[in-house]
Structure 1
Amino acid sequence: MARRPLGQDELLKISEHCAGKFLRSGETAPTVAELAEDSGLSERSFYRYFPTKEDSLRPLFDHGNRFYAQAIDEQPAGTDFLSALEAAFIVTLERGRDRVSVQIMDVVLKSPALRQIWLEASYQAFDLLRAPLARLLGSTPGSLETTVACGQAVVFMLSGLERMTIHGLDAGEAARAVAHATANLTEHHARRRPAGTAGKEPRP
């Protein structure tokens, strides 16, 4: 009789075990055998779900992205875009389970292979973010406005996690810093570029 495939919650627990192993291993990346043993799997079963050892962290990243999208969707109607991202970031990162994500980011940022998995998960989060951001903006999920908003929401999360990991900020401090920088950047360039000039060559 074939074994039942592992569900989303089971894969998340395995991913958390693997994240813990990566953290405990420090500068030396754990082997697949070590990750499988820590997770209670055989190496064969491990490879059934994770093509590489770095892929074992993907369920943890996906979980954080799902909760981020949910937190955005729960923002009250009329909330402005940056305030919604700030609040959703704080809610997502202050959850107990997602502290593992923050702790593991130091390892992720130092590993090109792990960064690739993290960035792939972040890009695919666009599909999760479209509906809640379209609702927030009063737009449609497939519009360019919503697509740009998805990109900004992902960058907000990446930038905030970087501030927490590298600079030691808490979730609220990181969210406020990123929101402030984003608002300043937008305001500064809005003053410098007249409407309708995007993509045009400057006159000599």
Structure 2
Amino acid sequence: MARRPPDEETLLGVARACADVFVAAGDSSPTVATLVAAAGLSERTFHRWFPTKPDCLRPLFDDGNRAYAAALATQPADLPLGEALCRAFVATFADGSDDSSRALMRTVFGDLALRRVWLEASYATTPALRPGVATRLGTTQDAVATTVGCGQAIVLAIAALTHMVEDGLTAPEAAAAVGAALFADVPHH
């Protein structure tokens, strides 16, 4: 009998439990045994679900990125891309100013293996962003302008999260600062 893959909520629960372990350690040094004990899994299941130890955070990153793409799709059609991206970022990551989210991202930024997974997840958001970016730009999903717009969306999220953690900015402050640097249509604050 074939095994069914775990559902998103199960994976998110495991990712959250593992995130707490990484944050407590301050890096990716905890063993798989420590992670599975916190997540309530067997080591065999952990290795079946995640190719590497840091990959156990991927469901958490993917969830945030999907929410960002969905928030972009709900922005008013008359907003320029830069402003729509800033608003989508704020709608998605305003809760990222809580202590636990900042602690996780601080840990991710300080650990090469964890940062690799976060950046891979960030760049893998492009397919989810394409419809919203293409619609806003009046282009097709495979147009060069759409690809560039998706890249700008990803850079905005990466840079804004970085400044939220490193500089203590709120999501609106970080989005406005990064948006102003990326786009002429975003008001400078």
TM over 0.5: yes
Question: In the alignment, which residue of structure 1 is the partner of 2:19?
Answer: 19
Distance between the aligned counterparts of 2:163 and 2:93, measured in 1? 12
Amino acid at match of 1:103: A
- Counterpart CA distance in 2 for 1:163 and 1:27 is 20
**Is 1:79 the equivalent of 2:79?**
yes
The alpha carbon displacement at 1:3 in A equals 4.8
Where does residue 94 of structure 2 map in the other structure?
94
Residues 109-158 of structure 1: per-residue CA shift (max 9 Å, x gap) = 11111111111111111111101111111111000000000000000000
**Superposition pairs for residues 52-201 of structure 1, below 5 Å?**
52-95=52-95, 101-183=101-183
Deviation at 1:82, TM superposition (A): 1.0
Report the 3-state secondary structure (helix = DSSP H, G, I; strand = E; otherwise coil) of the residue aligned with 2:140. Answer: coil
Shift of 1:5: 2.5
Please say if residues 65 and 125 of structure 1, whose CA atoms lie closer than 8 Å, have aligned partners that are also in contact: yes
TM-score normalised to the size of structure 1? Answer: 0.84
1:39 counterpart residue number: 39
Letter in 1 for 2:156: F
* Change beyond 3 A, Cα 1:182–1:92: same
1:42-80: per-residue Cα shift (whole Å, max 9, x none)?
Answer: 111111101111000000110011000000000011111
1:94 match: secondary structure: helix
* Distance change in 2, residues 1:178/1:69 (3 Å): same
The percent of aligned pairs where both chains have the same amino acid is 47
Alpha-carbon shift at residue 26 of structure 1 (Å): 2.3
User: Structure 2: how far apart are the matches of 1:94 and 1:176?
Assistant: 13
Match of 1:50 in 2: 50
2: CA distance, partners of 1:129 / 1:109 = 24
Distance 1:28 1:121 in 2: 17
| Number of equivalent positions | 185
Aligned mates of 2:99, 2:139 — CA distance in 1: 33
Deviation of residue 99 (structure 1)? 7.3
Aligned AA (1:133): V
Partner Cα separation in structure 2 for residue 6 and residue 33 of structure 1: 20
State the Cα distance separating 1:2 from its structure 2 match.
5.5
**Which one scores higher on RCO, CA 8 angstroms, separation ≥ 6?**
2
CA distance in 2, matches of 1:78, 1:5: 40
- Contact 1:12-1:59 within 8 A present in 2 as well: yes
Tell me if the contact between 1:19 and 1:100 (Cα under 8 Å) persists in the aligned partners. Answer: no
Q: Once the 2 structures are TM-superposed, how far is the Cα of residue 104 of structure 1 from its aligned partner?
A: 1.2
SS at 1:169's partner residue?
Answer: coil
Cα distance 1:148–1:178, how it changes in 2: closer, same or farther (>3 A)? same
- The answer (yes or no) to whether the contact 1:61–1:101 under 8 Å persists in 2 is no
Structure 1, gaps ≥5 residues long: 187-204
Conserved 8 A contact 2:22-2:29: yes
**What is the aligned-residue RMSD (CA, Å)?**
2.1
Larger radius of gyration: 1
